[in-house]
Structure formats: structure tokens, C-alpha cells
Amino acid sequence: MVSFICLVIGFLCGVVVAVYKSSTQPVMPAQSMPPAARTAEPAQPAGPSADELQQINRLERQAAAEPTNAQVWTDLGNLYFDTRQHDKAIEAYKRALEIKPGDANVLTDMGVMYRRTGQPRKAIEAFEKAMRADPKHEVSRFNKGIVLMHDLNDAQGAVDAWEDLVRVNPQARTPSGALVRDMVAKFKSGMGRQQEPAKQKEE
């Protein structure tokens, strides 16, 4: 039990309990990873910058003028995402998906926003929709495991999600650069030790 707890703590430190925006592509070889990835618990700035507010106003006007333009709603959702306006991002992503259903990236980003608004089950639903839309979508699988592990306390479900990711891409890596399959093996080893029956006390 102690070793399993230590393993979990170590993992927490390694991935910062993060779910990621689809555009960051966290499950890539380490040398291809972006210099930074958006985490689930970012530092909270004072608010959008002047430039961001200008971009938001422009996109809001464009969305009003072109309400059936899925890309505009997606871009607006992404800007709300980046400026931590979670509820507005969800609504913008919903509008994009009404026009263009089954966009795995938009579904994944909406799932991240659901997690950040304290709705982990809706996050899981969004990630699963992304996986159905794109059977090879990696970020949604990684994020599903994070939410299952850290928000829903479902360690086995998390391991299953990451094993599914490894089946899609055996070389998938965590944001720290470790192979996901190695991470899964360590978790399964810890879970196995946790579940070993105690020896019967000798008479």
C-alpha cells in the first residue's frame, strides 16, 4: 500500500495532474513536444490582456455576423480557453459542434473545460465522443485517464484508458517524456502489490 501511494505521488509530481488542450499534442516523443503545455490548474492571471480582449471582441463580432461558421466558434472557444473563461469556452465549443459535429479536437478541448468547471463526468463523456469520432485520437485518451485517476478515483479505469492509448500508439509518451506503457506497467505493479492477499497467520 505504501509503495503504491508513493507511486501515485510521484506520478502526480510528474504530470502536474494535468489535462491538455488538443493542440498541444502532449503524447509525442519528448524532442517533439512543445516547450509548455496547458495544465488543468494554471496560475490565475489578473484577467485577459488588452490584446486578448481585442481578439475576443473581434471574434465575438464575427461569430454574430457568421453564426454558422464553425471555425469562428472554435477560434472563439480557444481564446476563451486560453483566458480561463471556462463556461464561455464550453458554450462556444457547443456552437461549433452543432455546426460541425464530431470534431475530436473540439470535443477534447470542451472536455478539458468541463473538468476545470468541476464536471469530471461530462469531461469523460466529451473525451469518449472524441475517441469515437477519431479512433486514433491520443490526447483524449490521455486526458480520460487523468480525470478517472484524479477526479473520479478510478485507478483501474485510468489504467485501462492509458492501455487503450498504448494500443493506438505504442510509442505514446507522457508530457515528461516517459513512455506511457512504462507508466502503466508501474501502476499495474503497484496495484497488484496492493491487492495481494495477506499470508495466513501461522499457528
Task: Please tell me the predicted confidence (pLDDT) of residue 96.
Answer: 98
Which of 24-28, 67-71, 199-203 tops mean pLDDT?
67-71
* pLDDT band for position 176 (cuts 50, 70, 90): confident
* pLDDT band for position 193 (cuts 50, 70, 90): low
pLDDT (mean) for 174-196: 78
What domains can be seen in the chain, in order of their start residue?
2-195 (1.25.40.10)
Q: Compute how many other C-beta atoms are within 10 angstroms of the C-beta atom of residue 176.
A: 14
- Give yes or no for a contact between 190 and 3, defined as CB atoms under 8 angstroms apart: yes
- Give yes or no for a contact between 131 and 141, defined as CB atoms under 8 angstroms apart: yes
**Among the listed ranges 7-21, 65-79, 101-115, 141-155, which one has the minimum average pLDDT value?**
7-21
Q: Would you say residue 10 has pLDDT above 70?
A: no
Give just the sign of the alpha carbon dihedral 3, 143, 148, 132. Answer: negative
CA angle 96, 174, 143 (to 5 degrees): 35
Q: Compute how many other C-beta atoms are within 10 angstroms of the C-beta atom of residue 114.
A: 24
Q: Would you say residue 43 has pLDDT above 70?
A: no
Distance of CA 56 to the CA centre of its chain: 24
d(CA 170, CA 176): 16
* Range 25-57 burial, b when 16+ CB lie within 10 A, else e: ebbbeeeebeeebbbbeeeeeeebeeebeebbe
- Which among 136, 63, 147, 135 has a CA at the least distance from the CA of 110? 147
More confident residue, 178 or 39: 178
- Residue-wise pLDDT tens digits, 107-148: 999 999 999 999 999 999 999 999 999 999 999 999 999 999
C-alpha cell at 97: 459542434
Q: Count of H helices and E strands in the chain?
A: 9, 0
Q: Would you say residue 2 has pLDDT above 80?
A: no
Task: Please tell me the predicted confidence (pLDDT) of residue 18.
Answer: 63
Q: Would you say residue 149 has pLDDT above 90?
A: yes
Task: Please tell me the predicted confidence (pLDDT) of residue 189.
Answer: 82
Distance of CA 156 to the CA centre of its chain: 17
* pLDDT band for position 71 (cuts 50, 70, 90): very high
As beta bridge partners, residue 164 has none
Q: Across the chain, what does the average pLDDT equal?
A: 80
Instruction: Write the single-letter amino acid at 181.
Output: R
**Among the listed ranges 24-33, 56-65, 78-87, 135-144, which one has the minimum average pLDDT value?**
24-33
